[in-house]
Amino acid sequence: MISLMKMDYKLNSTKTYHVNELNTLGWELTVCNALYPPQTPLRKILARNDSYGHFLYDYLCRFLPMENLRNVIEIGGGYGYLMKDFLDRNGSLRPCMVDISPFLLERQKETLEGYEASYRREDFLETDPAALTAFDLAVLNENLGDFPTLINLNEEFFDPSSRTADPNVRRALALFERYHFNRPEKRLFNFNIGAIEALEKICASGIPHVYLSEHSCEATVPRHLQAVIHVDSQGSPERISLKGHDEYSIKMSYLEKVAHAFGYTSVRGPFADFIPVAFTDRLRVILVSQGRYGDEDEMICQFVEDLYKYEYLILTKE
């Protein structure tokens, strides 16, 4: 912990884990990966048997001119499944995959073999902004929680008399001022500095369309489903402990503010907007019993909850 001010805060970073240790995404099953195997029982509860990338592509067609897009940058593409699905739908896309993990970048090359794609192994926070101007669409799926987060901040963070030389804190304060973020109500709070700086970089480069998604700390469940789906959002980024690293849920309202400041319009919602669940009697029984009666039921409960815990933003430059 650092105590330059009277508070004990720290910068959570997943960089060492991603660069040196990561050799599977199995421990942090993303919604995208969970839906990828055609035989997964998760697809049986959907109104259509399909994969995450196909559902997403079809949904984006409602808001973005997907058929006219060509140069797509995907940051943190994991196993490359989302991009493979996008290429199935639109073979004229030319993806550039940027990833901090050497292991995952190799997996992306395998998944996208035969397609005209380029690859960059780098921390997106260090990517040269000049390299971004050529893209029509940026995709950041289920990864912003991996970016650095300042944790355990308190009200002293806002006190001018306790200003510190720590560049992370200074940049975080500047972001609060620049984007007029509401001050957190909690005494101790966490701040998604990396996610905000990543989006700021994308917006400043003027990429006309952006899709991003992540586990949200502001997620809600529609009233009519609250009896069967339980999502407890704290409003401030929460720690999610995973193998070898911690990540943090994302305060989507701050990201929206950044995008609006750069003249983007936003569409925001839960994954459930584009991954259609068929709420049959059987599924309701599984949800009410909270998956107690078997591993498959437990997996289904977790998945349906995730469809509401994860939020997306679709951003379009006006």
Ligand X SMILES: C[S@@+](CC[C@H](N)C(=O)[O-])C[C@H]1O[C@@H](n2cnc3c(N)ncnc32)[C@H](O)[C@@H]1O
Q: Which residues would be at the binding site for ligand X (CB under 6 A)?
A: 18, 25, 28, 30, 32-33, 75-78, 98-101, 104, 123-125, 141-143, 146-147
CB of 21 to ligand X, least distance (A): 11
Q: Which residues pair with 214 in a beta bridge?
A: 311
Q: Which is nearer to ligand X, 29 or 188 (CB)?
A: 29
- Nearest Cα to 248, choosing from 181, 303, 196? 196
Q: Which is nearer to ligand X, 48 or 243 (CB)?
A: 243
Q: Among residues 55 and 147, whose Cβ is nearest to ligand X? A: 147
| Alpha-carbon distance values, 276 to 51, 59, 299, 307, 310 (Å) | 11, 11, 17, 9, 14
Q: Which is nearer to ligand X, 94 or 121 (CB)?
A: 121
Q: How far is the CB of 104 from ligand X (least distance, A)?
A: 4
216: left (phi over 0), alpha (psi -120 to 50) or beta: beta
Residues belonging to the chain: 318
Between 37 and 222, whose beta carbon lies closer to ligand X? 37
Residue 5 CB, shortest distance to ligand X, in Å, is 26
Q: Which amino acid is at 239?
A: R
| CB distance 172 to 227 below 8 Å | no
Gap between the Cα atoms of 254 and 5, Å rounded = 24
Contact 242, 215 (CB under 8 A): no
Alpha carbon of 137 to those of 93, 211, 308, 314: distances in Å? 10, 8, 25, 10
CB 77 to ligand X: min, Å: 5
> CB 314 → ligand X: shortest distance, Å?
16
